Chain A
């Protein structure tokens, strides 16, 4: 499902003495089955953009096209439910949204709201639990008995259970240990690859952007500053640091090598494997199989 922003602006508390403009002039398109990373300094408007993706907020200027629905400042709040089923959002610290007595019920809550029968919703929970790294024995436990990381997984399963076409992730791994982070991020990537899910990832982890995303949007002070592939954008490391953003560790390392040994990298390495290949190329390709 495509999502397109045209000249979108958003002002908080419009018409009151406290009004503040969070977004202006936003033009961007998120293509079907793409993996978009939305990055920007804290307070750049990422979260506000995110809430527009399933019409939790409506633009105060401009239009947003989500699939075949058009959202304008005057769109009625009714009938947005079908949209919310298609665009699932995993909010920051989603464990705060758990409330049912059992984990199975909590995962089934979303689908049930969208008209899925109780049995089928519970069945979806049964299938999803192993996917997020928990086993079936968790079904009947209370969500409040779990550790923070496990609660996070249940919350994520609750969003996946709605079987959205677009999955929006707002720093899904904040506060998780490195192992848990990698597992969760790999699971999302797997969904993107195998089920053709459209993913929008909001993050500060440039390594994740480099590793998973195929498109990158940089927001600054409420508007889109740059858009393009991560490989392209990470080339401008100085501009990025002026935006208070960094580059992934592989790129940082590559840039240091360029600096120190005068090497050139035709393809900026987005992963450790690519970095190794590039180093090999620069060394003349004679290092053998050990690299």
Chain B
């Protein structure tokens, strides 16, 4: 079940994209999601697709991973696209039956929404596939830093984030173990009616919560014992260094935005 989950997984590698600064990659992904709404015709979408295609091929990660990243969201995408196709009215109507209308505009809109979904998912999958979760949380800490001035506890958020990321696989293992132990005691997960299925979750959830509480307590003790006193006056082991290639990567967005603005209608 959980081993099929590709989203949020890191594939080690040494490509150009892997070596980019995590801040660059995070900002690129966010920026990309914003500028995707600039696109409104075939040419602009084509430009975005070429851009994403280039980034994907530079990352040297097999396309299979990206396609797998789409799979869990496939139903959401289809649902949205179909709604868009069936309920958009326009000038050229091919078919209509009550409120359901099949129009040229609807088809085009559906196609664009599909492209938007795929491109955004590809871009965010690219971010998680090529960036270690810990460097990602470093990047988030750095980018949030300005908000510290208005009282946002940036260090705490970053710390929680990196601890959470660190414990995702551990908790997954733990879940699997407890599931197995309860299955060996006669629980069938995912069988029976909804009420029975909900009931079978209890022997999984309670031990998971209890072990998380215990783990949190142990971790807090261990951190204190090693002299952790909060964010004030800490130095960093993992330094983020902005290189020339990061500037280059970010400036490629200037070109992209220029292309989008020129070609959009």
Docked complex Cα distance between A17 and B129 (Å)? 13
Name the A residues within 8 Å of B183 (CB-CB). Answer: 56, 84
A99 in contact with B185 given A17-B64, A18-B3, A56-B180 (CB within 8 Å): no
A99–B202 touching, CB < 8 Å: yes
Residue interface mask A150-169, B partner, CB < 8 A = 1: 00000000110010000000
Residue B211 CB within 8 A of the other chain: yes
Please list the residues of chain A having a beta carbon within 8 angstroms of any beta carbon in chain B. 12-13, 16-18, 51, 54, 56, 78, 81, 84-85, 87-89, 91-92, 94, 96-99, 109-110, 113-114, 144, 158-159, 162
Residue B12 CB within 8 A of the other chain: no
A56 in contact with B184 given A12-B3, A17-B65, A97-B178 (CB within 8 Å): yes
Residue B145 CB within 8 A of the other chain: no
B185–A96 touching, CB < 8 Å: no
Residue B62 CB within 8 A of the other chain: yes
Q: How many A-B residue pairs have CB under 8 A?
A: 66
A85 in contact with B186 given A16-B3, A17-B65, A18-B3 (CB within 8 Å): yes
Residue B188 CB within 8 A of the other chain: yes
Residue B245 CB within 8 A of the other chain: no
A91–B180 touching, CB < 8 Å: yes
Kindly identify which residue among A81, A97, A114, A162 contacts B207, using a CB–CB cutoff of 8 Å. Answer: A97
CB nearest to B65 among chain A residues: A17
Kindly identify which residue among A18, A81, A91 contacts B186, using a CB–CB cutoff of 8 Å. Answer: A81
Name the B residues within 8 Å of A16 (CB-CB). Answer: 3-4, 68
Docked complex Cα distance between A13 and B174 (Å)? 18
Docked complex Cα distance between A89 and B177 (Å)? 12
Residue B70 CB within 8 A of the other chain: no
Residue B150 CB within 8 A of the other chain: no
A81–B188 touching, CB < 8 Å: yes
B182–A144 touching, CB < 8 Å: no
Residue B248 CB within 8 A of the other chain: no
A58: min CB distance to chain B, Å: 13
Docked complex Cα distance between A98 and B188 (Å)? 17
B211: min CB distance to chain A, Å: 6
User: Is chain A's binding surface mostly helix, strand, loop or mixed?
Assistant: mixed
| 18 pairs of residues in contact across A and B, judged by CB atoms under 8 Å | A16-B68, A17-B64, A51-B180, A81-B186, A87-B184, A89-B181, A91-B181, A92-B177, A96-B211, A97-B181, A97-B185, A97-B207, A98-B207, A99-B203, A109-B203, A113-B185, A113-B187, A144-B210
Residue interface mask B58-86, A partner, CB < 8 A = 1: 00001011001000000000000000000
A109–B185 touching, CB < 8 Å: yes
Name the A residues within 8 Å of B185 (CB-CB). Answer: 84, 97, 109-110, 113, 158-159, 162
Residue B206 CB within 8 A of the other chain: yes
A54: min CB distance to chain B, Å: 6
A54–B174 touching, CB < 8 Å: no
B180–A96 touching, CB < 8 Å: no
A102: min CB distance to chain B, Å: 13
Name the B residues within 8 Å of A113 (CB-CB). Answer: 185-187
A84 in contact with B178 given A17-B64, A99-B206 (CB within 8 Å): no
Output the residue of A18, A56, A97 with the most chain B CB within 10 A. Answer: A97
Name the B residues within 8 Å of A18 (CB-CB). Answer: 3
Name the B residues within 8 Å of A56 (CB-CB). Answer: 180, 183-184
> Given A96-B174, A110-B186, A113-B187, 16 other A-B contacts at CB below 8 A?
A13-B3, A16-B3, A16-B4, A18-B3, A51-B180, A56-B183, A81-B186, A84-B184, A89-B180, A91-B177, A94-B181, A97-B178, A97-B181, A97-B182, A144-B210, A158-B185
A263: min CB distance to chain B, Å: 47
Docked complex Cα distance between A209 and B183 (Å)? 28
